[in-house]
């Protein structure tokens, strides 16, 4: 049996028994009062009630690495014992996405390891300002166990010096891409519990009217207990109800891009995310990328090789070039039976669900919500809610299950403010106020100590990374 339930959250056993998959980055320290990143807790006197723009001189804020004053007592190391080598583990970068760098840091308030994301180039122009503010608001909006959300936002400096935004999220151990390319065995039980959580998170996002637009294995964070969270909302946006409104085509990493986007359709829906999940489902089964093409046209060719030439009705919204390309080629019959050869886990039930997700016509593709009702996911649901979730709990007489296994968002995500945002300065004021108001009445705010050595390393690493990315 590949799974051993040794504790409440070890439903799948240790997915990463070694330290190969980023495990070393995850260190829960109970006695860390030396914030080596330069992160420090704001002293109480300039704490949560401080007015926006209160100057925060680094030496007044602590940050023991950089030579600043010690962190005030209530937030410093509560214990005097010497930390173990693991607890002394330095903070470090853990990755970067298209729109930011992520760093593993220690929260000086409780010694907990968290992820710190720097959102770059926020105020470069109005477009980036709107994009970052949208992502920030989304991270603060989300309340779902399978969607990464903001635990905190670092206190901004006064508005004249406000250039960067730092968000703190939960730190996860790895991501699905690293798991898939690793030698770690992936059983059917793993696949079912992962797929269940992806769709559970996606149902929540779509119910809030949000399209992720970059669902890929690297954006699905996982822990060794198999808990999964969807992350990176840099490309996410609100669903466009008006089909006559044009939407950007520059979305979704090519291998996971839905055919309607590849064909240049000007309007698309949440179905593009379901397509991406279908590709990931096949990748989990076969442990290789399903459609790995060199160009968007070849990507479309690989899709039609599998699904067959689409009917004319599915090409109605395609751009002229894409439609001509498909109609010019030879008629291809579907070859879906090859999906059974992905692996032993590609059972009739698995392939049936896969074929409902990998439908060329988005109008006929299964929704994330309906996919959750497929019998293939019954075991994943049971496993998740038996010992992984936060919504059910155990009592001596047994397990008390929640009434709603796959909850929707309480309300749609609102983006009406975006239309009234007309300048970068206005955006800066709005974001500054948002962060300040977001923190009021909450925990002691954190801010960066720019004098600390670790912070300088962070910045220089981030700059090097960005120069590689862009």
Fill in the per-residue mask, 389 to 408: x = in contact with Zn ion (CB under 5 A), - = not in contact. x-xx---------x------
Asked if 262 interacts with Zn ion (CB under 5 A), we say: no
Fill in the per-residue mask, 309 to 348: x = in contact with Zn ion (CB under 5 A), - = not in contact. ----------------------------------------
Identity of the residue, 229 or 257, whose beta carbon is nearer to Zn ion in the bound complex? 229
Identity of the residue, 117 or 381, whose beta carbon is nearer to Zn ion in the bound complex? 381
Which of 323, 385, 438, 456 contacts Zn ion by CB under 5 A? 385
State the number of binding residues for Zn ion (CB under 5 A).
5
- 117 annotated as ligand-binding: yes
Identity of the residue, 25 or 204, whose beta carbon is nearer to Zn ion in the bound complex? 204
Q: What are phi and psi of 348, to 5 degrees?
A: -60, -40
* N-term to C-term CA, the chain: 46
Identity of the residue, 394 or 414, whose beta carbon is nearer to Zn ion in the bound complex? 394
- Report in angstroms how near the CB of residue 145 gets to Zn ion at its nearest: 9
- Report in angstroms how near the CB of residue 402 gets to Zn ion at its nearest: 5
- Report in angstroms how near the CB of residue 417 gets to Zn ion at its nearest: 34
- Report in angstroms how near the CB of residue 11 gets to Zn ion at its nearest: 12
Choosing from 214, 242, 305, 378, the catalytic residue is 214
Fill in the per-residue mask, 193 to 212: x = in contact with Zn ion (CB under 5 A), - = not in contact. --------------------
Identity of the residue, 177 or 385, whose beta carbon is nearer to Zn ion in the bound complex? 385
Q: Which stretch binds Zn ion (CB under 5 A): 239-247, 291-299, 302-310, 388-396?
A: 388-396
**Residues whose CB falls within 8 Å of the CB of residue 448, separated by 6 or more in sequence, listed in order:** 38, 39, 40, 154, 166, 455
- Report in angstroms how near the CB of residue 83 gets to Zn ion at its nearest: 35
Identity of the residue, 11 or 186, whose beta carbon is nearer to Zn ion in the bound complex? 11
Q: Which stretch binds Zn ion (CB under 5 A): 2-10, 108-116, 272-280, 379-387?
A: 379-387
Identity of the residue, 145 or 164, whose beta carbon is nearer to Zn ion in the bound complex? 145
- Report in angstroms how near the CB of residue 206 gets to Zn ion at its nearest: 20
3-state secondary structure the chain: CCCCCCCCCCCCCCCCCCCCCCHHHCCCCCCCCCCCCCEEECCHHHCCCCCCCCCCCHHHHCCHHHCCCCCCHHHCCCCCCCCCCCCCCCCEEEEEECCEEEEEEECCCCCCEEEEEEECCCCCCHHHHHHHHHHHHHHHHCCCCCECCEEEECCCCCHHHCCCEEEEEECCCEEHHHHHHCCCCCCHHHHHHHHHHHHHHHHHHHHCCEECCCCCHHHEEECCCCCEEECCCCCCEECCCCCCCCCCCCCCCHHHCCHHHHCCCCCCCCHHHHHHHHHHHHHHHHCCCCCCCCCHHHHHHHHHHHHCCCCHHHHCCCCHHHHHHHHHCCCCCCCHHHHHHCCCCCCHHHHHHHHHHCCCCCCCCCCHHHHCCCHHHHHHHHHHHHHCCCCCEEECCEEECCCCCCCCCCCCCCCHHHHHCCCHHHHHHHHHHHHHHHHCCCCCCEEECCCCHHHHHHHHHHHHHHHHHC
Asked if 52 interacts with Zn ion (CB under 5 A), we say: no
Q: Which stretch binds Zn ion (CB under 5 A): 84-92, 179-187, 217-225, 381-389?
A: 381-389
- Report in angstroms how near the CB of residue 389 gets to Zn ion at its nearest: 3
Residue 214 falls in the annotated catalytic set: yes
What are the residues binding Zn ion (CB under 5 A)? 385, 389, 391-392, 402
Annotated binding-site residues for ATP read 117
Annotated binding-site residues read 117
Looking at the annotation, which residues are catalytic?
214
């Amino acid at each position: 049996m590949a799974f051993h339930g040794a504790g409440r959250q070890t439903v799948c056993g240790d997915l990463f028994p070694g330290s190969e998959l980023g495990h070393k980055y995850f260190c829960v320290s109970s006695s860390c009062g030396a914030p080596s990143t330069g992160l420090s807790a704001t002293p109480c006197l300039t704490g949560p009630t401080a007015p926006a723009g209160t100057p925060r001189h680094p030496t007044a804020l602590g940050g023991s690495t950089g030579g600043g004053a010690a962190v005030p007592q209530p937030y410093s190391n509560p214990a005097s014992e010497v930390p173990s080598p693991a607890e002394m583990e330095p903070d470090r970068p853990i990755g970067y996405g298209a729109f930011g760098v992520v760093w593993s840091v220690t929260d000086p308030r409780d010694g907990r390891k968290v992820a710190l994301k720097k959102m770059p180039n926020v105020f470069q122009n109005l477009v980036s300002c709107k994009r970052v503010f949208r992502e920030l608001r989304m991270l603060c909006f989300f309340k779902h166990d399978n969607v990464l959300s903001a635990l905190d936002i670092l206190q901004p400096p006064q508005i004249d010096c406000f250039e960067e935004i730092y968000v703190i999220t939960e730190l996860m151990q790895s991501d699905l891409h690293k798991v898939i390319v690793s030698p770690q065995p992936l059983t059917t039980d793993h696949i079912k519990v992962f797929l269940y959580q992806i769709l559970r998170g996606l149902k929540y996002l779509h119910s809030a009217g949000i399209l992720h637009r970059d669902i890929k294995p690297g954006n699905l964070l996982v822990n060794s207990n198999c808990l999964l969270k969807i992350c990176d909302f840099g490309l996410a946006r609100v669903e466009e109800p008006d089909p006559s409104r044009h939407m950007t085509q520059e979305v979704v990493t090519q291998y996971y891009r839905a055919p309607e986007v590849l064909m240049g359709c000007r309007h698309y829906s949440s179905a593009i995310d379901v397509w991406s999940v279908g590709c990931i489902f096949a990748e989990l089964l076969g442990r290789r990328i399903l459609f790995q093409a060199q160009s968007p046209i070849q990507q479309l060719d690989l899709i039609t090789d599998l699904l067959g030439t689409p009917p004319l009705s599915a090409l109605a919204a395609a751009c002229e070039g894409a439609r001509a390309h498909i109609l010019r080629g030879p008629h291809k019959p579907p070859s879906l039976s090859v999906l059974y050869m992905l692996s032993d886990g590609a059972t009739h039930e698995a392939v049936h669900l896969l074929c409902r997700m990998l439908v060329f016509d988005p109008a006929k593709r299964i929704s994330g919500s309906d996919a959750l009702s497929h019998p293939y996911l019954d075991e994943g649901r049971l496993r998740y809610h038996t010992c992984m979730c936060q919504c059910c709990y155990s009592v001596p007489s047994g397990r008390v299950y929640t009434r709603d296994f796959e909850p929707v968002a309480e309300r749609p995500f609102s983006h009406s403010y975006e239309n009234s945002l007309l300048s970068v300065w206005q955006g800066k004021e709005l974001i500054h106020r948002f962060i300040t108001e977001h923190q009021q009445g909450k925990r002691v705010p954190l801010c960066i100590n720019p004098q600390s050595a670790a912070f300088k390393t962070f910045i220089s690493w981030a700059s090097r990374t960005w120069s590689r990315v862009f």
